[in-house]
Amino acid sequence: KGLQGFYFGLPAVLLQVAGKGAIRFTAFEQFKFLMHLTPVPKASIDFRAGIGAGFAEAFLWTTPTERLKVLRQNDIKSGLNRYSSLAGSIRTVATEHGITGLYAGIGATGIRQASGVGVRFALYGRVKSALTTDPPQMWQSALAGGITGCCSTLLNNPIDVIKSRIEAQDGKTKEYTGTIQAFRAILKEEGVLAFYKGIAPRLMKISIGQAITFTAYEAYSNTFS
């Protein structure tokens, strides 16, 4: 496939990253504001608000865009080129599986996003405080974001494997019918190490991504505050 093969699914990824970032931080701030009005312990507000934001982005955005991304990337293996464009991918999934086909793996995706986002927001402030005084320098925000990205990845890589297996299915006969069933099947057939397949590139992707995300978040917050 050449160099182009590394960029299969890029339109869906770009759409996904922009959309889920907007939803994530908007939802986080809203949940955080509401929780300050309740007797929730302040030490847990960032974590709880992050969980809420993770579920919100999973339902509103991440699940359908992840589904399209995974299907497009699977074209590399099949060579069928059934998902050659973003619009074409949506039409194909909607025609063959109905609109609910875009929400395959929503349970696993929701758990992944909620756990990952919750951990990131809970840890980011603490790691940042340990590194610097407020406001942080750019490299300190990047380092804090990278560390939180690594921690969340180590925590939820098993559910990411389950999510990807479910989303990659593209036929009438499905090996994985749900999150719990997929967990049991993978554990039985491949062992516990299967849940950490692909963790090295995912660690790189998410740590770098969160370093950039939190650095940009701090910069924009300071600019518009």
Q: What is the pLDDT of residue 198?
A: 93
**pLDDT confidence tier of residue 85, bands split at 50, 70 and 90:** confident
What pTM, to 2 d.p., does this model score?
Answer: 0.86
CB 103 within 8 A of CB 144: no
**pLDDT confidence tier of residue 86, bands split at 50, 70 and 90:** confident
The span from the CA of 50 to the CA of 172, in Å, is: 36
Does the structure show a pLDDT above 90 at 103? yes
Which of 89, 87, 88, 73 has the alpha carbon at shortest distance from 4? 73
Higher pLDDT, 58 or 91: 58
The span from the CA of 141 to the CA of 132, in Å, is: 9
The pLDDT tens digits of the residues spanning 149-176 come to 999 999 999 999 999 999 988 877 789 9
The pLDDT tens digits of the residues spanning 45-59 come to 999 999 999 999 999
Q: What is the pLDDT of residue 7?
A: 78
CB 138 within 8 A of CB 220: no
% of the chain with per-residue pLDDT over 70: 96
Which of 30, 117, 23 has the alpha carbon at shortest distance from 64? 23
**pLDDT confidence tier of residue 31, bands split at 50, 70 and 90:** very high
